[in-house]
Amino acid sequence: SAVISQKPSRDICQRGTSLTIQCQVDSQVTMMFWYRQQPGQSLTLIATANQGSEATYESGFVIDKFPISRPNLTFSTLTVSNMSPEDSSIYLCSVEGPGVLTGEQYFGPGTRLTVT
């Protein structure tokens, strides 16, 4: 499976500011995704990061709040904009393909965000 890194691993931010999270993969992958996981909860898909085009957002998530970039097949960023305490969560990137069986996703280590 691919080796995935995320930066930063954790951060404490003030409300109203923005944080950009980076996701780097050691090999080219077809699909990259961004998830949010709040304490004690399961994973919620924020968006699919599309290489060379705008990300595809899930219901309840908008580009102005969570702008995403994917300049190539190994890298993506997620920005959490104009943060509020409700944005405190773990943010995870995941990847799928090529070279893996259909649908298998592998996760990065996550970014723990606390908004004060």
Q: Which is nearer to another protein, 7 or 81 (CB)?
A: 7
Query: Interface residues with another protein (CB under 8 A)?
Result: 1, 41-43, 45, 92, 101-110
Between the alpha carbon of residue 23 and those of residues 55, 60, 85, 116, the distances in Å are 15, 22, 23, 24
Comparing CA positions, the residue from 47, 35, 37, 5 lying closest to residue 22 is 5
Q: Which is nearer to another protein, 75 or 106 (CB)?
A: 106
CB of 82 to another protein, least distance (A): 26
Q: What are phi and psi of 50, to 5 degrees?
A: -100, 130
CB of 26 to another protein, least distance (A): 16
CB of 96 to another protein, least distance (A): 8
Distance CA 96, CA 30 (A): 6
Q: Which is nearer to another protein, 98 or 109 (CB)?
A: 109
